[in-house]
Structure 1
Amino acid sequence: MPPTSRAFAQSSGATSAYARHLQAASAYVSYYGGTIPTPAKYRNERDILEDHHQFIRTDEEADTEEKRIAKSYYDKLFKEFAMVELARWREKQIAMRWRTKQEVLDGKGQFSCANLSCRNHRSTLDENPDEEGGLRSVELNFEYAERGEKKHALVTARVCEECADKLRYVQRGDKSKRKRSRGSRSPSRGRHHRGRSEGGEESRRRSESPRGRRRRLDPPTRRDDSRRRRRRHHERD
């Protein structure tokens, strides 16, 4: 077997100081026994915002460092108009967030459509700074779930006519859903009462019809006929 070259021997070992430290610690534990403590999981700002960010913040004070970071990020957002995601508008599901400073400087969500998946993202300032380019200010009651709690907020979004139709479609679905939930009991009771009244009216009409009267009169008429036959038979005898 040819001898191992020096370059190959160096490349097969640990390549960094941290890797060599882990290798030495593993050898120490395997010889002397014990365990290596697991390092704490590193949390970046994205992880902190996913845990503590709120669409509408009501708390003025933050008692922990992570909440202070989330509040600092929230205070930097511009909440006059919102950005919208309508990729799943057919399922009546939308997503909304506030605009960042760079989006405000670029005119996104005010001079161009706020829908992130819209094809009409060319700013209206390119045509005429004094005109709005057919954008519509749509105000909607945004219902969302946050930390297992259902919330709602009145939000304004600047969108093109095509995306405005999509938002109206979502709003109509939410309104019809609320109407069905509010009136789900009273119509059923009304139908139930109406069904009983219609049934009683129908039975009354049947009883008053000539056919119904004939059915009630048929049995005594047959008995009368049998009695007449018996009388005639006795008279003949």
Structure 2
Amino acid sequence: MHDDLSSELDYNSEVERKRKRLDSFKKESLPPVPKPTKELFYEECAKENTKRQNVLHLDVYSRHKRLINQYFLTNPGSSSILQRDTSRDRTDIDLIRSNSKFLWHDDDEVDTWEKKLAKRYYEKLYKEYCIGDLSHYKENKVGLRWRMEQEVVEGKGQFVCGEKHCSSREDLASWECKFNYIEDGQKKTALVKLRLCPECSQKLNYKQRKHLAKSKQKEKSSERPTPHSASQDWDSSDDEDLIESMLL
């Protein structure tokens, strides 16, 4: 009798454990959501009508600003979508560089706004003396451009050495050079003036001095020396080789 009672209790406890375990897997039932009342519906409609009226009475530009501001406030980080692509933008100086000429003539065609801008900039330059870049003088490459107003006021290129990176004021010499350059795929020549210090003058005449030194060695070896004057050593007007124009 005692054994039968204990077996029945064990069975009931096992059934109770299974029931609790199954109940733990069951989803809790959510309480039913009450349907919105008519009063709530009318209240929301009134709010929407008020918003619509506030937008409709604005002009087009004010409406645009309001909608954009609301968009920014409700969508964080969305301003990057409205950023304009600036990769192809060109400034005035870019247009001047792409359409510039070392010398503009009266018969040159000025049929675009970019060319008009470049020519107008050219007309404001001072063309008595040039500013030069002699950083590549060993390669026989010289860059020249005309002087700007600020440089004329400071004396750069006339009372100060005309080399772009030099500020010497002592023992300046005037040089009249034949400047050969390439522009629009064509070889062109211009006669320009430079005011340079002795060191920069050596750079300007580097090729001529080099040729002269070689010729002197040949003459010395053949025992037929020929004297050369200082003016021949520094003369740069006889150079017929092409000097590529570089943008300063």
Report the TM-score when normalising by structure 1.
Answer: 0.53
Equivalent position amino acid for 2:159 in 1 = F
Alignment partner, residue 27 of structure 2: none
Structure 1 or 2: more helix by fraction: 1
Residue number among 165, 182, 206 corresponding to 1:117 in the alignment: 165
1:151 aligns to 2:188 (yes or no)? yes
3-state SS, counterpart of residue 105 of structure 1: helix
CA displacement at 1:171 relative to structure 2: 5.1
Contact 2:124 2:148 in 1 (8 A): yes
Identical counterparts, % of pairs: 38
Q: Kindly report which structure 2 residues correspond to 1:1-237, keeping only aligned pairs within 5 A, or say none.
A: 13-15=77-79, 19-21=80-82, 41-59=88-106, 62-118=110-166, 121-122=167-168, 124=169, 133-170=170-207, 175=238
Contact 2:178 2:239 in 1 (8 A): no
Deviations 1:112-162 (Å, cap 9, x if unpaired)?
1111123xx15x4xxxxxxxx310001110011011111110000000011
Which of these two proteins has the greater Rg computed from alpha carbons? 2
Alpha carbons of 1:84 and 1:10: their partners in 2 closer, same or farther (altered >3 Å)? farther
Alpha carbons of 1:176 and 1:86: their partners in 2 closer, same or farther (altered >3 Å)? closer
CA displacement at 1:59 relative to structure 2: 3.6
CA displacement at 1:53 relative to structure 2: 0.4
Contact 2:134 2:142 in 1 (8 A): yes
Alpha carbons of 1:40 and 1:95: their partners in 2 closer, same or farther (altered >3 Å)? closer
Tell me, in whole angstroms, the C-alpha distance in 2 between the residues paired with 1:39 and 1:165: 45
Tell me, in whole angstroms, the C-alpha distance in 2 between the residues paired with 1:176 and 1:79: 22
Tell me, in whole angstroms, the C-alpha distance in 1 between the residues paired with 2:207 and 2:74: 64
Equivalent position amino acid for 2:78 in 1 = A
Report the TM-score when normalising by structure 2.
Answer: 0.50
Deviations 1:168-197 (Å, cap 9, x if unpaired)?
22456685766xxxxxxxxxxxxxxxxxxx
CA displacement at 1:12 relative to structure 2: 5.2
Alpha carbons of 1:13 and 1:143: their partners in 2 closer, same or farther (altered >3 Å)? same
Equivalent position amino acid for 2:150 in 1 = Q
Tell me, in whole angstroms, the C-alpha distance in 1 between the residues paired with 2:74 and 2:161: 58
Contact 1:84 1:94 in 2 (8 A): yes
Tell me, in whole angstroms, the C-alpha distance in 2 between the residues paired with 1:40 and 1:111: 42
RMSD over equivalenced CA pairs, Å: 3.0
3-state SS, counterpart of residue 144 of structure 2: strand
Contact 1:83 1:115 in 2 (8 A): yes
Tell me, in whole angstroms, the C-alpha distance in 1 between the residues paired with 2:190 and 2:165: 22
Tell me, in whole angstroms, the C-alpha distance in 2 between the residues paired with 1:102 and 1:95: 20
Contact 1:81 1:158 in 2 (8 A): yes
Tell me, in whole angstroms, the C-alpha distance in 2 between the residues paired with 1:22 and 1:169: 53
5+ long unaligned stretches in structure 1: 1-8, 24-37, 125-132, 179-237
CA displacement at 1:39 relative to structure 2: 8.7
